[in-house]
Structure 1
């Protein structure tokens, strides 16, 4: 585990990535293949897959996929594509496959919950007419951690716990697995995923934009530590006297945000929809969902959502200006924006020759 702690060089500010990388469809497709397919991505919650046969069928970075709870309690993921004529196997965002089988609604090919072909009607004998090993579902990686479900399009790579790395022990004191879903706030906005990530990784803007956050946290003591070898950032803001909450945050590249508070958790991610477009997904979880706590929980979630809204409003203007052709590059504050520089270097490392 390696952390950036070097003394900032004020005399040599670092240039930003060029503006074209935030608006170019060809660049986005390269990111999709070089980054998004190779990293674990937040997908759902374990409570949505409570029983064997329960499934979630969503689109993640352009790929329709389905995750299924197995009979032994584990998860398996597949491309939501029948091997016969490419129909979607699961037609609804969530549900349950009846009878312990995945049945294609088009021509009734059936698959075991583990993706193995079971029956292919019309191919001679009812069962075994074609080789199941050659015609089973296309797999993806799926796993869960403390009540959160993740997928990775690539089937090879580090395990989920290996990918989370130091986040696992650093977050151990927070009872995430005991918290329950309370509400969510999702929205599609004209912002590139990199713009949103860079905004999250600096509090240079906080005094200007987040009065509610600054009333709660001592922004003068806000810290962001970068761990480039592990692909994550550790952010912390201590509580002011009389403030609403302290805040411990983790950002795992490319776009997982784990926000832990005294009152619960705000779990967020983005789904890139194209160059300059994303869907922001935010879940709010609490340990106590009793009716007596409902109003307090709502206020806590709305407090957090207000900070997100303030960032969104500003970053829509940033994205618009990145697209008009006037601005090409800026510079990063060596004191305030070192984590932004580390984030941009992770983008560069994933795609050698990016600015060549």
Structure 2
């Protein structure tokens, strides 16, 4: 088969007149941006009337493709007129018809190549019932039964015809998928290259580029409007910015402040308990007065007093020191995480401190009451 050669030159038409007698609405139904919406048979004939010569003088495809060639040329002329916003000149119409005819001459051979290749490969594997990329084994395949000999749906000649029908369709599907992209690519390249290099179509190319720019501008405008609607107002932006800049207190600060608020109350209760300590040998005037919350508890408030008073102050100083140490450790642990898990070593330390404190309190109580290790009073 012979394909059109790529060395063809566009015919030089001496007739460069226009088709001013035609109205654009007579060539088809167009949208406001010049896109062709509908083409009736009458409008198709009017579009072909823009040519300066009959179609028989253009490159001709095989006879089975000439009607498709005619429709493709009419459709191309109507689309170009809509893009330009006016009827085409004879030079423009002839140039488009020429390049579309060349494309049709290439594309027309797609169907014969497709069907011919399908019949060839089907006939080649007729006896072995070969499928694409697969040949059944005679030991396990019986063409007289479909789908198999153990549970046949068809038997005899109908089964053999069905197997051949499946083979034809399998080859047809694969060959169509291979040949169609090749022919369409070659034909489209032939048309596009010819239109891009033809000097008679400069105005049409400009009109097509302008319409593409308008469509792109509309798309960008729609995207900008969507982004504007989705953008928050300036007031909301300022409020969010202020919230981000405002320092947030640490999560552990609330618990720490509550502990400090409860601490003065607990100290006052401890101090008030000394009022009811009738067994204490210290006079009420010599007893330690409550300390303000802002003054450290490890500083003695009364330098005088008895030895019992000094022992009490030391005991309370050690208790306050332990409390402050435990509170400092709790705050450092609160900064690292919201929850604290006591390990076994911490539990043992706390137990040892509590036991030592109980023993020390018991010793002070015995000394205060004047009882020795044997239980006798001094």
For the aligned pair, the TM-score class normalised by the smaller chain equals under 0.3
Q: What TM-score comes out, normalization by structure 2 length?
A: 0.18
Greater per-residue strand proportion: 1
Greater per-residue helix proportion: 2
Q: What TM-score comes out, normalization by structure 1 length?
A: 0.19
- Relative contact order (C-alpha < 8 Å, sep 6+): which is higher? 1
